[in-house]
């Protein structure tokens, strides 16, 4: 039970919410399965502890660290990181038909194992490869990712992929058959990478214990990745997460607007109802609420450092646009232009942002951010977009490249708007350092938020979509 509690604690550290009831359900479910069957344990814990498919990757990493199989006495020397034994063949389950000291023989054995779908041989090759190329040393403070990179490079998995892709290639092959064949090769190579990662994890756990290994292998959830420093792989993970997230967000906002509002007291109906209780006002009645639909204007800095953040802000705001009266979007760098037409329903937002970069007139002089000029131009050309019912959302790091911030222009916008919110994707520690002037703009806004990931952005969009009263001015 202590082990299960530690595992649930690790999931919570990663950011996966696990309630007490779910933990009790997981413990009860384990009583009904074979605990020696690792796949059953994995499926049972995933079914009881995970509520979103987005969290399965993080769950698998934690599971592999906590439930890694320890080397057994009969696993053989290659399982302990030593060189593989000599001899053996594909048919007999060995790792090569020639000299095992030669890396070429190991890669040839790997190809035969994959091509013949021989799992026993493949597992043996993976163990030998980790021992030969991983360079793992007891107690060395290096993460599993580094070892996996060394093994993948030693096996030359790209060359293996090309060799597998050439198998079955023919002149008469249809485009569909070719596509299916390449997809199958990609799946096989990814499975091989996964086997390498699990073998490395198994050895690390045997050397250091599951808790330290799990800590070093943690990967942030897609919704917790910093949008301004996300790598290409991180952005692909965010892309996969954002589409279902927008649908859930739209449904949640619609539900809150239907059920979360309460109308004013209906005195006439309350008095009439009190007749059934002898005149006691025991059951007050309320008028049917008529919630207003916010009018949103987005001013987004789309310069290089914050363009990714602006893109996902646009995506979430437009996801809930059916619950809003109107959404108008403006993009700027050192000039501002309306881009509402680029974000019509059904539009591919990634392509839309690319069009904004090439078609919108967002560059005035040198293409470096100039918030002051952008705000002044907005006041001069687009101030009519802001009415007393409009909520203005500004996204950007407020770095003006030492240009005039023109705070009077933002003051003019704020005086006409219902509320102005500023979303700053930059770490709060760097606010008002260098050319950042967020401290000058903050007093003109209802709130300035540090919003650096998808989870914070989702929470803000949901709040602003159901907000009925203006909050006190804060910097959060």
Residue 77 pLDDT more than 70?
A: no
Range with lowest mean pLDDT among 117-121, 124-128, 356-360: 356-360
Task: Read off the pLDDT of residues 418-431 as tens digits, 9 standing for 90 and up.
Answer: 889 898 888 889 99
Q: What mean pLDDT do residues 82-104 have?
A: 48
Residue 82 scores a pLDDT above 70:
no
Does residue 106 register a pLDDT over 70? yes
pLDDT value at 473 more than 60? no
CB 332 within 8 A of CB 300: yes
Judged against a pLDDT cut of 70, whether residue 132 lies above it is answered with yes
Residue 439's pLDDT band, with cuts at 50, 70 and 90, is very high
Looking at residue 97, its pLDDT comes to 43
First vs last C-alpha separation in the chain: 40
80 vs 70: CA distance, rounded Å: 10
Residues of the chain with pLDDT > 70, as a percent, come to 80
Helix then strand count (H, E) for the chain reads 18, 7
Confidence of residue 347 (pLDDT cuts 50, 70, 90): low
Question: From CA 340, how far away is CA 327, in angstroms rounded?
Answer: 8
β-pair type (419-424, 447-450): parallel
Q: In the predicted model, is pLDDT for residue 68 greater than 80?
A: no
Do residues 406 and 372 make contact, with C-beta atoms less than 8 angstroms apart? Answer: yes
Lowest mean pLDDT across 120-134, 158-172, 305-319: 305-319
pLDDT score of 143:
65
Predicted pLDDT at 219: 78
Relative orientation angle of helices 2-14 and 38-49, to the nearest 10 degrees: 60
Residue range 241-274, pLDDT digits in tens: 766 766 766 676 666 666 655 667 788 888 888 8
* Per-residue DSSP letter, 393: E
* pLDDT at residue 98, rounded to an integer: 44
Question: What is the rounded CA–CA span in Å between residue 167 and residue 152?
Answer: 21
Coil, strand, or helix at residue 329?
Answer: strand
pLDDT, residue 16, reads 86
Q: What's the pLDDT at 222?
A: 78
The single-letter DSSP state of residue 223 is G
Q: Which residues contact 292 (CB under 8 A, 6 or more apart)?
A: 325, 389, 468
Nearest to 11 by CA among 53, 47, 61: 61
Average pLDDT, the chain: 79
pLDDT of residue 142: 59
Kindly state the percentage of the chain with pLDDT values over 90: 13
pLDDT (0 to 100) of residue 91:
40
Read off the pLDDT band of 100 (50, 70, 90).
low
Give the integer Cα–Cα distance in Å for 256 and 285: 20
Please tell me the predicted confidence (pLDDT) of residue 87. 42
Of the listed ranges 56-65, 87-96, 316-325, 400-409, the least confidently predicted one is 87-96
Per-residue pLDDT reduced to its tens digit, 378-415 = 999 999 989 888 888 898 889 988 999 999 999 999 99
Separation CA 430–CA 433 (nearest Å): 5
d(CA 75, CA 80): 8
| pLDDT at residue 404 in the model | 92
Looking at the predicted structure, is the pLDDT value of residue 83 above 70? no
Amino acid 259: pLDDT: 61
Asked whether the predicted pLDDT for residue 71 surpasses 70, the reply is: no
Q: What is the structure's pLDDT at 85?
A: 43
d(CA 88, CA 148): 26
**Of 108, 107, 109, nearest in space to 94 by CA:** 109
Residue 202 token pair: 């198994």
Kindly tell me if the per-residue pLDDT of 86 is higher than 60.
no
Average pLDDT for residues 455-475, to the nearest whole number?
Answer: 64
> Is the model's pLDDT at 84 over the cut of 60?
no
Given this model, what pLDDT does residue 411 score? 93
According to the model, what pLDDT value does residue 437 have? 92
Q: Does position 89 have pLDDT exceeding 50, yes or no?
A: no
pLDDT at 232: 75
- Quick: pLDDT tens for 188-239: 888 888 888 888 888 888 887 878 887 877 777 877 888 777 777 777 777 7
Between these two residues, 97 and 106, which has the higher pLDDT value? Answer: 106
């Amino acid at each position: 039970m202590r082990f299960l509690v530690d595992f649930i604690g690790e999931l919570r550290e990663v950011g996966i919410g696990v309630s007490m009831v779910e933990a009790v359900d997981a413990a009860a479910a384990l009583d009904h399965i074979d605990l020696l069957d690792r796949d059953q344990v994995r499926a049972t814990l995933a079914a009881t502890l995970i509520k979103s498919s987005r969290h399965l990757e993080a769950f698998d990493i934690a599971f592999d660290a906590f439930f890694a199989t320890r080397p057994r006495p009969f696993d053989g020397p290659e399982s302990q990181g030593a060189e593989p034994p000599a001899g053996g063949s594909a048919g007999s389950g060995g790792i090569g038909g020639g000299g095992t000291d030669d890396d070429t023989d190991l890669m040839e054995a790997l190809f035969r194992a994959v091509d013949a779908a021989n799992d026993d041989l493949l597992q043996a090759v993976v163990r030998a490869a980790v021992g030969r190329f991983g360079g793992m040393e007891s107690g060395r403070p290096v993460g599993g990712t580094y070892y996996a990179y060394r093994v993948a490079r030693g096996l030359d998995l790209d060359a293996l992929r090309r060799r597998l892709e050439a198998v079955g290639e023919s002149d008469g092959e249809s485009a569909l058959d070719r596509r299916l064949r390449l997809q199958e090769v990609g799946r096989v190579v990814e499975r091989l990478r996964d086997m390498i990662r699990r073998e490395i994890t198994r050895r690390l756990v045997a050397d250091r214990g599951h808790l330290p290994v799990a800590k070093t292998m943690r990967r942030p959830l897609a919704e917790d990745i910093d949008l301004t420093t996300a790598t290409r792989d991180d952005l692909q993970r965010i892309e996969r997460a954002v589409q279902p997230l927008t649908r859930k967000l739209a449904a949640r906002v619609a539900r809150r607007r239907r059920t979360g509002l309460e109308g004013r007291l209906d005195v006439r109906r309350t008095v009439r109802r009190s007749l059934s209780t002898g005149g006691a006002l025991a059951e007050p009645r309320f008028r049917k609420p008529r919630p207003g639909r916010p009018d949103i204007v987005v001013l987004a800095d789309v310069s290089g450092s914050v363009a990714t953040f602006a893109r996902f802000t646009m995506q979430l705001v437009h996801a809930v646009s059916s619950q809003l009266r109107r959404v108008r979007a403006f993009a700027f760098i050192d000039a501002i232009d309306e881009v509402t037409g680029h974000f019509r329903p059904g539009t591919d937002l990634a392509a839309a942002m690319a069009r904004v970069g090439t078609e919108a007139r967002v560059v005035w002089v040198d293409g470096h951010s100039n918030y002051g000029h952008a705000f002044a131009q907005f006041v001069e050309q687009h101030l009519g977009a802001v009415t007393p019912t409009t909520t203005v959302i500004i996204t950007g790091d407020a770095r003006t490249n030492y240009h005039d911030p023109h705070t009077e222009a933002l003051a003019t916008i704020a005086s006409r708007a219902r509320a102005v919110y500023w979303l700053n994707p930059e770490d709060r520690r760097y606010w008002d350092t260098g050319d950042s002037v967020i401290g000058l703009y903050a007093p003109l806004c209802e709130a300035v938020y540090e919003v650096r990931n998808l989870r914070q952005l989702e929470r803000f969009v949901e709040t602003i979509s159901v907000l009925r009263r203006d909050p006190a001015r804060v910097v959060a």
